[in-house]
Amino acid sequence: MRLGVLGLVAVGAIVGGCGSQPAVQTVSKADAAMKVQQAKQAKAAAAAKVKANELGQVPVLMYHRIVKNPGSDDDRTPEKFRADLERLVRDGYVPITAAEYVTGKIGIPAGKHPVVLTFDDSSPSQLALDDLGVPRADTAVAILQDVAAKNPGFRPVATFYVTRDMFGKSLKEEQAQTLLWLKDNGFDIGNHTRDHVNLGTRSQKEVAEQIAAIRQQVHALASQDPVTLALPYGSQPRKKEWALRGKGSEGAYNHSGVFLAGYTPAPAPYTRTFDPLGIPRIKAMDKKGDCSQFCSTAWLDWLKNNPDMRFTSDGDAETVAFPKFKAPFLRKNFTGRALPY
Ligand SMILES: [Zn+2]
């Protein structure tokens, strides 16, 4: 029997046998409010137990090519990439896409930490499919799927920032096969401009043309629009907003977030420090040279040693759980989902 939660609800007289009395139950507003309060307290206690901190920082890792013979520090070997993923598993991370991150849809188990894996420039070393649609060995996608299969709960998802290169495919049909494969397998397709130009030196019209052209191409091939954009070279246009939304001759674009190229973990999407116009990423690289402090190995060590700074999930995608102390940093539009403890 369903009980109303508003006002006084009489729950029908039970018609019994001869001589039985009708029983009437009432649920008052106060009772209902108390139940909601108790449920919230139980959620807050569970969040406290796993030290949930959904206003903490999120590493957004930036990859380029995954190749056996790296040409530069931007490349990663298949072995190193696999080791990176295995470290993320050990450290309790679960991948989410850039689109999920910027829109605050972070659905991972309690006590786990989100990580965003991003791949720039749509290189065939990231994704190449055989004629039956199976990823070729040692591509980024094949390695990610393999590590996920061996570690249940580690989601095989990532975001691919594409240019007109489209994973080395020149035929429209092959480009469509590749983008549709990504879409069908839960991967996220982002915008990286048509010609990989430095937007910092371009006019508003040129910026809009570069971005709108890829939006249109992804839309035509895979029937979806990129939710986010990664700036080539991390270079912002003269007005940062031009990268977020605008209109070119091939239509309009409206992103929920724009990613830079360096050099720190990113704020949670629920904090006031989150800026959709310039979200930092971390280059995937060992501790050496410039990377001794500012690339992935160094930052993952730092987050491990500073667990109070890291985003930890309460396991409920609907709530934003955090220690009360952090309340002033909550973004206004998330107050309805707040679960302070
Ligand atoms: Zn690039």
Average pLDDT, the chain: 93
Nearest 5°: the CA angle 162, 60, 185 is: 50
The percent of residues in the chain predicted with pLDDT above 70, rounded, is 92
Q: Which residue has the higher pLDDT, 26 or 2?
A: 26
Ligand 1 centre to CA of 174 (Å) is 22
Ligand 1 centre to CA of 114 (Å) is 23
Which pLDDT score, from 0 to 100, does residue 26 have?
61
Q: 333: which DSSP letter?
A: G
Mean of pLDDT values over 12-40: 68
How far is residue 77 from each of residues 74, 83, 90, 118, 300, measured CA to CA in Å? Answer: 10, 10, 20, 16, 19
Ligand 1 centre to CA of 134 (Å) is 25
Ligand 1 centre to CA of 30 (Å) is 57
Q: Which residue has the higher pLDDT, 194 or 14?
A: 194
Mean of pLDDT values over 192-205: 98
Whether residue 17 is predicted with pLDDT greater than 90 in this model: the reply is no
Whether residue 135 is predicted with pLDDT greater than 80 in this model: the reply is yes
Q: Is this structure's pTM higher than 0.85? A: yes
**Half-sphere CA count of 98, side-chain side, radius 13 A:** 30
Neighbours of ion ligand 1 (CB under 5 A): 120-121, 232
Band of residue 28 on the pLDDT scale cut at 50, 70, 90: confident
Ligand 1 centre to CA of 232 (Å) is 5
Lowest mean pLDDT across 25-29, 38-42, 100-104 = 25-29
Lowest mean pLDDT across 16-25, 204-213, 266-275, 305-314 = 16-25
